[in-house]
Amino acid sequence: MLKKPLITVVFGTRPEAIKLSPLIQQLKQEKFLRIRVILTGQHSEMVAQVLSLFKIKEDDNLKIMKENQTLTHITTQILEKLKIEFTNYKPDLVLVQGDTTSAMASSLAAFYEKIPIGHVEAGLRTNSIINPFPEEANRRLISQLSTIHFAPSKKAFDNLKKDNVSGKIFLTGNTVIDALLYISNNSFKTYLSDIDLKNQRIILATVHRRENWGKNIENICHALVKILENNSRVFLIMPLHKNKLISEPIKKILFNHPRVKLTNPLSYEKLVEIIKRSTLVLTDSGGIQEEAPSLGKPVLVLRETTERVEALENGTTKLVGTDIDNIFENANLLLNNEVEYNSMAKSINPYGDGTSSKKIIDACKNFLKL
């Protein structure tokens, strides 16, 4: 009897876990495939929460995480440890997601072993090699190494065509919508019932990207204070990243404000619940730029560039950068102008219909000649 083809899925961060979990769930239901789930350990607790939520158990964890880890540490550790993994369990296809250093290093490790690579969420571009850093470089490198490209949007598909990448390109939509619908269709313990909101309007703010470390984080926090000072019914919820370079300046500026709730990193189901209840979202996150519009929430993007240009063009998101006055003016307008608010909230989300995982699996099976 012929051995079933092996697909190894490798990831290390929470955003990867969220976007790959619905795909892994469906892959595990395929009778003629073997699946291995490998964690790099770039993030630890946050990934474990997501896997528990989707009822997924990893096959191995490379456990590369250490305090104040550098990009060099992450890359070299993944290369060395995946060499062992791929020697012991050589896959017929490796799947990676997005633009993290875990994804880039895993792709390189697979390439060194001459293993085909499938790239989920391929083709995103800002066309600025250092913005965002290191994500733009990571995803460009992965595109050069990949055998199959799963583009989440027509714009991403066109970017890959323009780059003249090798291998086949498939337009699949984004698996984050699959994940979002899974959470929205299941009931979980509520979170906001623990906070006395008294009819206040919620702003969700998240900040974590490297290009915003330092002065930019401070500017964002001062802008949030200005929004609160000028809108007495607004309540801010802000999850804190575990990295102290991010969390400490936020605490210094926002900790004692009576209408601010600084939380530990939120589990995915709690994050979805808060997005649903929010009036407005301010973020530098890529995933939230896709999730919030699906729930009808305007997003102000705290970056100078974004690779999610479809949402900009559709009017569901707006780039506001990190200038204090610019953030305030755009947020204040949406909070106080119903016409402007509805023009963003009621725009069409361009990121898919919840069938992305099935499309990716069909392409994988075709590649593996199943």
pLDDT in tens, 47-81: 999 999 999 999 999 999 888 889 999 999 999 99
Mean pLDDT of 75-103: 98
Of 191 and 4, the one with more pLDDT: 4
- What per-residue string of b and e applies to 218-250 under the rule 16 or more CB within 10 Å gives b? bbbbebbbbbbeebeebbbbbbbbeeeebbebb
- pLDDT at residue 89 above 80? yes
- pLDDT tens profile 110-133: 999 999 999 999 999 999 999 889
Straight-line distance from the first to the last Cα atom of the chain, in angstroms, rounded to the nearest whole number: 15
> Which residue of the set 16, 99, 273, 310 is catalytic?
99
Q: Which of 58, 85, 135, 273 is catalytic?
A: 135
Do 192-345 and 6-174+353-367 have the same topology in CATH? yes
**Average pLDDT of 256-263?**
93
Considering 201, 222, 241, 259, which one is annotated as catalytic? 241
| Region of poorest pLDDT, from 94-103, 135-144, 291-300 | 291-300
Phi, psi of 72 (to 5 degrees): -65, -45
Local confidence band at 309 (pLDDT 50, 70, 90 cut-offs): confident
Least confident residue range of 101-105, 162-166, 189-193, 313-317:
189-193
Instruction: Based on the residue annotation, tell me whether 257 is a catalytic residue of this protein.
Output: no
Q: Does residue 121 have an active-site annotation?
A: yes
Quick one: 288 exposed, middle or buried, by C-beta within 10 A (0-12, 13-18, 19+)? Answer: buried
Mark whether 201 is an active-site residue.
no
Question: At what angle are helices 356-367 and 175-184 packed, to 10 degrees?
Answer: 130
CB 208 within 8 A of CB 242: no
DSSP 3-state assignment of 103?
helix
pLDDT tens figures, 130-182: 988 999 999 999 999 999 999 999 999 999 999 999 999 999 999 999 999 88
* pLDDT recorded at residue 188: 57
Residue type, 147: T
Domain boundaries, the chain: 6-174+353-367, 192-345
Catalytic residue, chosen from 119, 208, 303, 308, is 208
Both tokens assigned to 328: 């305030």
Residue range 6-174+353-367, CATH number: 3.40.50.2000
Containing 283, the helix (H) or strand (E) segment is: strand 280-283
Q: What is the mean pLDDT of the chain?
A: 92
Grade residue 46 by pLDDT with cuts at 50, 70 and 90. confident
CA–CA distances in Å: residue 358 to residues 113, 240, 327: 28, 34, 39
Distance of alpha carbon 291 from alpha carbon 299, whole angstroms: 10
- Rounded Cα distance between 141 and 135, Å, is 10
Calpha distance 236→240 (Å, rounded): 13
Supply the pLDDT for residue 65: 87
Active-site option among 58, 92, 121, 269 = 121
Each residue's pLDDT tens digit, 200-247: 899 999 998 888 888 999 999 999 999 999 999 999 999 998 888 888
Over residues 322-336, the mean pLDDT reads 97
Angle at 235 (CA atoms; ends 226, 319), nearest 5 degrees: 55
Answer yes or no: 73 catalytic: no
The single residue of 210, 257, 259, 277 carrying the catalytic annotation is 210
- Indicate if 99 belongs to the active site: yes
Residue 135 a catalytic site member: yes
Name the residue type at position 324. I
Please classify residue 114 by burial: count the beta carbons closer than 10 Å to its beta carbon, then call 0-12 exposed, 13-18 middle and 19+ buried.
exposed
What superfamily does domain 192-345 belong to in CATH? Glycogen Phosphorylase B; (3.40.50.2000)
